[in-house]
Amino acid sequence: MTIGFGQVVIDSQRADQIAAFWSALLERPVNGGANQFFAMIPASEDRSFPALMFLGVPEPRHGKNRLHLDLVAADLPAEVERAIALGATKVAEFDEYGTRWTTLTDPEGTVFDIGVRHSPGEPTS
């Protein structure tokens, strides 16, 4: 038996609203029929980008995420500023382990990172 990857699920208080934030940030569409309880950003056709499912839950997030999205960008400062303009909050900047990244939260407080994209074979520091 083989297990496959389905999607990344993000709990939220308003699935449709938080999906709209992620849709704008990732420049990927939300499937039709999104509502306060369920919304979906589909995987890319080549499956290089996973599907994101947003589920409405009654309670707000408390504490640190045990799992988070780790995004990469060619222009880290520009993408961090774009994320903030869309409603993200900047938490901290890091330059460790041979890479640079910024930790942010989405409008509901879910933590995610945007880091520097490295080309194959490129030194990381």
Q: Whole-angstrom Cα distance, residue 55 to residue 9?
A: 7
Residue 120 clears pLDDT 60, i.e. is over it: no
The per-residue DSSP string of 52-83 comes to: EEEEE-SSPP-S--SS-EEEEESSHHHHHHHH
Instruction: Report the run of H or E that residue 29 belongs to, with start and end.
Output: none
Does residue 18 contact residue 106 with C-beta atoms inside 8 Å? yes
The pLDDT value recorded for residue 125 is 46
Can you give the pTM of this predicted structure? 0.87
Instruction: Count CB neighbours of 39 within 10 A.
Output: 27
Q: pLDDT tens digits, residue range 71-116?
A: 999 999 999 999 999 999 999 999 998 899 999 999 999 999 999 9
Q: What is the mean pLDDT of residues 24-31?
A: 96
The pLDDT value recorded for residue 59 is 82
Instruction: Count CB neighbours of 24 within 10 A.
Output: 15
Does residue 42 contact residue 6 with C-beta atoms inside 8 Å? no
Q: pLDDT tens digits, residue range 38-59?
A: 999 999 999 888 999 999 998 8
The pLDDT value recorded for residue 63 is 76
Confidence band of 6 (pLDDT split at 50, 70, 90): confident
Domains and their CATH numbers in the chain: 1-58 (3.30.720), 67-125 (3.10.180.10)
